[in-house]
Amino acid sequence: MTETRVTARAPSNIALIKYMGKADPASNLPAHGSLSMTLDRLCSIAEIRVKNDGKSAVAISAAAPDINAARFGGTLSCPELSDSGRQKLLRHLERVRAFSEERFEAHGLKALKRASIESRCANTFPAGAGIASSASSFAAVTLAAVRAFAAEPDAFERAYAGSESFRADVSALSRQGSGSSCRSFDGPWVLWQNESASAVPGGLPEMSDLVLVVDAGHKKVSSSEAHLRVVESPLWRGRIDRASARLEQLRKALGDGDQHRVAWHSWMEAWEMHSLFHTCADPFTYWKPGTMEVLEWIAPFVRTARTHGEPGRSPAFETPPIVTMDAGPNVHVIVPSSEAADWKVRLGDRFPELTVLEDRQGKGAELL
Ligand code: DP6
């Protein structure tokens, strides 16, 4: 019996137009499109150990992947899975096996038959850093597992590198495990509509994400639960049209490299998503007092995005930051990498008590 190991890395991504609300909860089809920036070093590493044992077992190990973590910023931390998180991941590994048996042939690939797999996954960001790991971990596990089920590794790697339709299929597979993970396969700017996601052109300079960690505690309402609750908000009426229109505006602004318009649409979108949380039938909030403090302080910088170019207004003194929030209390401040050091000092001076995580735009999941 032989044992082989496959390792993949996938970064987290931060949405500017959000995936919130599902058209089909069973397969994570979104109610409308979303658009995100792929990160780089804030990522998950997945290792799949494959045994040619004539069985078809799937298992999850709590151990970290056996790799030199220094390559990825130092330390690896293994997220502790809840029972439901474990079941979700086991179901996904079975889904990947089924995909290899049903879809490989269409891409000229052969699936490994009757092999058992064990999955290990760790993040390069500390547990409780307030960074969502479901996008990066599902993307990393999907890529490592789907490659592990390939009988001919070289053919798999050629297809993954060279075939857009194969990559779209892998992204769609990952989506079924956790929706936002389908945006972590490409980069830096990724559009997800319906089944799968792919890169779109962006005219901005290279961007960095500074994450102000207001609170690193475990969130009480999971994003999967939030997706179900938002449709009961009175603001859900018209939301699909508004989000779709904003998506088109933001996509155009991004293509034009217009940071003012990208910043303005992203700001409005973040407030709208959180307003859905605040107004649904069983309302909840992810915000902490510190979130409001950061938002109040940063709002005047973003406002220069709205007034930019209006007659009588002096030109903005600098390009506005792109500010957004996920389903959590932390605030993402996305700025050109050339301005990141200045912004870090400015944020550190104003909020010395907060940790600021820093990452850059990246290219998406890869086999290691
Ligand atoms: C607020 O992808 O975590 O981050 O599909 O149920 O796993 P599931 O949800 P998930 O939702 C992410 C929601 C979000 C917005 C976004 O990333 O677009």
| C-beta 15 within 6 A of ligand 1 | yes
Contacts of 135 (CB under 8 A, 6+ apart): 10, 12, 13, 178, 180, 181, 183, 184
- Give kind and range of the element (H or E) at residue 353: none
DSSP string, 51-116: E-SS---EEE-SSPPSS-GGGGTS--BPPPPPHHHHHHHHHHHHHHHHHHHHHTGGGT--BPPS-E
| C-beta 137 within 6 A of ligand 1 | no
Question: Quick one: which atom of ligand 1 is closest to the CA of 227?
Answer: 6
pLDDT for position 311: 60
> Best substitution site from 12, 19, 175 to test ligand 1's pocket, by max atoms within 8 Å of Cβ?
19
Measured from the Cβ of residue 163, the count of other Cβ atoms closer than 10 Å reads 14
The residue ranges of DSSP E strands in 152-297, in sequence order, are 189-193, 196-199, 207-213
Radius of gyration of the chain from its Cα atoms, rounded to whole angstroms: 21
**From atom 3 of ligand 1, which residue's Cα is the shortest distance away?**
223
CA of 13 relative to ligand 1 center, distance in Å: 10
Question: Quick one: which atom of ligand 1 is closest to the CA of 36?
Answer: 18
CA of 20 relative to ligand 1 center, distance in Å: 7
pLDDT for position 27: 96
C-alpha dist (Å) from residue 312 to 30, 226, 305, 317 = 42, 43, 15, 14
Query: For the segment 19-73, what is each residue's pLDDT rounded down to a tens digit?
Result: 999 999 999 999 999 999 999 999 999 999 999 899 999 999 999 999 887 887 7
Is the pLDDT confidence value at 316 over 70? no
| C-beta 89 within 6 A of ligand 1 | no
Question: Quick one: which atom of ligand 1 is closest to the CA of 273?
Answer: 1
**What is the dihedral sign for C-alpha 255, 258, 259, 261?**
negative
pLDDT for position 309: 66
Summary mean pLDDT of the chain? 93
